[in-house]
Amino acid sequence: MIVGVAATLAVAGCSSKSTDNGSSDTSGTSGSASSTSLSIKPQTLLDSEGKEAPVASVSDAANPAGDGSATCSGSTLAMAGALTGANAALGQNILLGAKLALDEHNKANANCQVELKQFDTEGDPQKATQVAGPITSDTSIIGLLGPAFSGETNATGAQFNQAGLPFLTASATNPSLTEKGWTTFFRGLGNDNSQGSVVAKYLTGTLNAKKVCVVQDDTDYGVGLAKVVTESLGGAADAACSASVKSGQKDFSATVSQIKGENADAIWYSGYYAEAAPFVSQLREGGVTSTFASGDGTNDPEFVKQAGEAAKDAILTCPCVPGPAEWVKKYTDMNKQAPGVYSVEGYDLTTIMLKGIDSGVKDRAGMLNFVKSYNGQGIGKKYQWNDKGELSNALIEIYKVG
């Protein structure tokens, strides 16, 4: 079940995520990509109250290389997430961030060579349960980066927790995950409660939207985020154009008609880019000009690549933070592509576990104690967790396609 993955997906970076290819299809229904010079650009960083937050200095960020004097033997970490499938770009972003941290560590520490085993879940909860067994039974694995999606995390978390395996997610944001009683789970970004409430304030405040249509997919992530956004919007959430779609759906004509009749100021889509791209394409083809907004599941260059010009002016949010320019260069030089959404979190969380190994951690119990007490600056944010595994600070980046 261990999958070796070549870093070939054409995803671009959070700092300025762009895409361009030769196809001219913009229908959003055929599955072929669209030619566009559009890119996803960061606009502003907001705190949990929806107010602009200062960008932290990362001069003291943890360095996976350490001082080069670490010694260890047979230490192994694992990564689990969607490495193939419709939303594989999101998992690949995390993996490539982790591989950069590992490369920097192993080059600097000749006497401590750490291995990273990769497990492909395809973003499917059922497939994730199939790889959970091999991960937990491999006692050499003392820390897990992942799972990546909320649904697969929900399906496997109890098993990882029972095995005493610390599992640190770079991207699973459903709030209920930290209410399961798991003691080995740590979330490396803000959850949907923080993102959803900030989104609502941004839509009704900054964008002055009086009527918003909330559309959700059927994943744990999409349903959870839509619930928070709807509740936070209050009277601005128009029940007459709220709608549900399915994973894998490509024909959104009924939903487009429903939304068009309401003349909403904005549309919030809770789901992933595989459905968001054809959805926004069909909205524009149907004459709907309302502002299109979506969260971190859509915030990937694949959304722009697949939606083409229909993605123009879309507002995308993420409880992740772009990396500084010097780090982006290192990532791009190694992976031959720019970082994407969650790449920073993949790098930072892997760095934390590597620091645990360098400190002398040899087993899962030691790694758990190390992560629980960790308090340090990463290249994206500060990492310190409460007793439920939630970060002590949550920041939301607002992006715009243009």
Give yes or no: residues 306 and 326 share one domain. Answer: no
Determine the pLDDT at residue 244: 97
Q: Whole-angstrom Cα distance, residue 285 to residue 298?
A: 20
Give yes or no: residues 368 and 357 share one domain. Answer: yes
- Token representation of residue 25: 């299809």
H or E element: which one contains 140? none
In a domain, 67, yes or no: no
Determine the pLDDT at residue 129: 97
**Backbone conformation region of residue 363, classed left if phi is above 0, alpha if psi is from -120 to 50, else beta:** beta
In a domain, 359, yes or no: yes
In a domain, 374, yes or no: yes
Determine the pLDDT at residue 208: 96
In a domain, 401, yes or no: no
Determine the pLDDT at residue 17: 40
- Token representation of residue 285: 């083809």
Q: Are 12 and 341 in contact (CB under 8 A)?
A: no
Give yes or no: residues 175 and 205 share one domain. Answer: no
How much is the average pLDDT of 192-198? 91
User: Above 50 in pLDDT, residue 173?
Assistant: yes
- Token representation of residue 156: 């496997």
Q: How many residues does the chain have?
A: 402
Last residue of a domain, one of 286, 318, 350: 318
| CATH (domain of 243) | 3.40.50.2300
Give yes or no: residues 293 and 345 share one domain. Answer: no
Last residue of a domain, one of 318, 336, 354: 318
Q: Among residues of the chain, what percentage have pLDDT more than 90? A: 80
**Beta bridge pairs of residue 52:** 46
In a domain, 24, yes or no: yes
In a domain, 10, yes or no: no
How much is the average pLDDT of 212-240? 96
Q: Whole-angstrom Cα distance, residue 141 to residue 74?
A: 9
Question: What DSSP line would sit under 315-352, residue for residue?
Answer: EEEESS-PPPHHHHHHHHHHHSS---TTHHHHHHHHHH
φ and ψ at 401, to 5 degrees? -85, 125
Give yes or no: residues 174 and 209 share one domain. Answer: no
How many CB atoms are located within 10 Å of the residue 228 CB? 23
Q: Give the chain's domain count.
A: 2
Give yes or no: residues 327 and 186 share one domain. Answer: yes
User: Above 50 in pLDDT, residue 7?
Assistant: no
Reported confidence tier of residue 321, pLDDT bands at 50, 70, 90? confident
In a domain, 58, yes or no: no
How much is the average pLDDT of 186-206? 93
Q: Whole-angstrom Cα distance, residue 274 to residue 306?
A: 8
How many CB atoms are located within 10 Å of the residue 287 CB? 8
Last residue of a domain, one of 298, 318, 338: 318
How much is the average pLDDT of 128-141? 97
How many CB atoms are located within 10 Å of the residue 27 CB? 15
Give yes or no: residues 200 and 307 share one domain. Answer: yes
How many CB atoms are located within 10 Å of the residue 110 CB? 11
The residue written with tokens 């990769």 in the block is 118
Give yes or no: residues 199 and 187 share one domain. Answer: no
- Per residue in 248-297, pLDDT (tens digit) is 999 999 999 999 999 999 999 999 999 999 999 999 999 999 999 999 99
Residue 238: give the domain boundaries.
17-48+194-318
The residue written with tokens 């992560």 in the block is 371
Give yes or no: residues 231 and 91 share one domain. Answer: no
184 Cβ partners below 8 Å, 6+ apart? 160, 161, 164, 165, 166, 167, 364, 368
User: Which residue type does 337 have?
Assistant: Q
